[in-house]
Amino acid sequence: MHPFDKALELEPSDDGRWRGRTVPEWANMVGPFGGITAATLVRAVELHPQRHGQPIALTVNYVAPIADGEFDIVTRVVKTNRSNQHWIVELSQDGEVKTTATAIFGLRRDTWADTEVTPPQVPAPEDTVASAPPFGVVWFDNYDMRFADGAMPDDGAESGSSTTTLWVRNNPPRPMDFAALASVSDIFYPRVFLRQGQFVPAGTVSITTYFHADDEQLAAQGDEFVLATARAQAFSRGYFDQTAHLWGRDATLLATSHQVVYFKG
C-alpha cells in the first residue's frame, strides 16, 4: 500500500464515525504532518454514504497536537442543497478534540470560466535539483520536492521575500486526488523561516483550501509534479498569514489555500 493511502485508512465505527491511526511515516516535529490530517478529514467525508458531489472548500483548525496512536473522526452533514453540501468534522483522541473542520462539497457544472492569476515561470522539474529532507522531519521523505525559489534556509541569512516556489509530487509517485491535493496545500515550511533565515517555533493554526479542479482535471494530472508557490502578506504579534497556489503541469490552477500561522521570534 502507498504510504499516503496507508495514512488515510479509516474504519467505520458508527453512523458518521470513523476510526483511524497515525503512522510513523508521516510524523512531524510535533504530531503528524498537518497536510495528512487535512487529507484524512477529506477522506472521511468522501467515505460517508450521504456525501454529495466533490470537495469545493475545506477549513481545518488545529486545536491541539495529535498523539501517536488511534483517533476518532465524526462527520456530520449540516445542510444539503441542490448544488452544495455543508459538513462539520471533528477529530478526537480519548474524548479530547484535537482538530475541527468545516467542508463544502458540491456538484460542478459547465459554466463560463477564466483564471486571472498565472503560474510563475520556472524551469521544469526535470531541470530542477531534488532537495534533501531536513534532519528530523520524517514526512518530507514522502514527497519529491524541487525548489525553484525560496528553498529551506541553511545559512542564517535573512531574506526580504517570503516567496517559495517548488515542484512537488508524492514519493513514490501517486495519482492526484482531492485528499492528496489537500495535503499538498500545506506542503510549505513556515514563511518566517525564510524571512529570518533560521528555524523558529511555528505551526499552522488554521488553513482553508479551495479546490478549483474537478475529477477530470485531477485525473488528467495523473502522478505528475504540481507547481506550488506561497508567500506571506504580514507578520504581526506572533502570527502571519500565507497564500498559496497549486498548478498542474498544463498550467491548470488546481487549488488555492490560505492559512494563519503562529510563531515565536
Report the CATH number that the domain containing residue 201 is assigned in CATH.
2.40.160.210
Rounded CA-CA distance 186/200 in Å is 18
User: Domain containing 82: what range?
Assistant: 3-108+120-263
How high is the pLDDT of residue 141? Answer: 94
Residue 164, in any domain of the structure? yes
How high is the pLDDT of residue 106? Answer: 97
- Cell 497515525 sits at which residue? 22
* Total number of domains constituting the chain: 1
Residue 210, in any domain of the structure? yes
How high is the pLDDT of residue 184? Answer: 98
Amino acid, res. 124 = A
Do 257 and 210 touch, CB atoms closer than 8 A? yes
Q: Reduce the DSSP state of residue 183 to 3 states and report it.
A: helix
What is the tally of helices (H) and strands (E) in the chain? 5, 12
CB neighbour class for 215 (10 Å; exposed up to 12, middle 13-18, buried from 19): exposed
Q: Cβ contacts of residue 15 below 8 Å, gap of 6+?
A: none
Rounded CA-CA distance 230/242 in Å is 7
Rounded CA-CA distance 113/94 in Å is 46
How high is the pLDDT of residue 133? Answer: 75
Q: Cβ contacts of residue 31 below 8 Å, gap of 6+?
A: 22, 65, 66, 67
Residue 38, in any domain of the structure? yes
- Counting Cα atoms < 13 Å in the Cβ hemisphere of 215 gives 8
Rounded CA-CA distance 102/82 in Å is 19
Residue 168, in any domain of the structure? yes
All three cell numbers of 27, joined, read 510524523
Residue 150, in any domain of the structure? yes
How high is the pLDDT of residue 140? Answer: 94
pLDDT (tens, 9 = 90+) of the chain, 265 residues, equals 999 999 999 999 888 899 999 999 999 988 999 999 999 999 999 999 999 999 999 999 999 999 999 999 999 999 999 999 999 999 999 999 999 999 999 999 999 999 999 999 999 999 999 988 776 789 999 999 999 999 988 878 899 999 999 999 999 999 999 999 999 999 999 999 999 999 999 999 999 999 999 999 999 999 999 999 999 999 999 999 999 999 999 999 999 999 999 999 7
Residue 114, in any domain of the structure? no
Do 60 and 206 touch, CB atoms closer than 8 A? yes
Residue 115, in any domain of the structure? no
Do 153 and 162 touch, CB atoms closer than 8 A? no
Residues paired with 106 in a beta bridge: 54, 84
Residue 113, in any domain of the structure? no
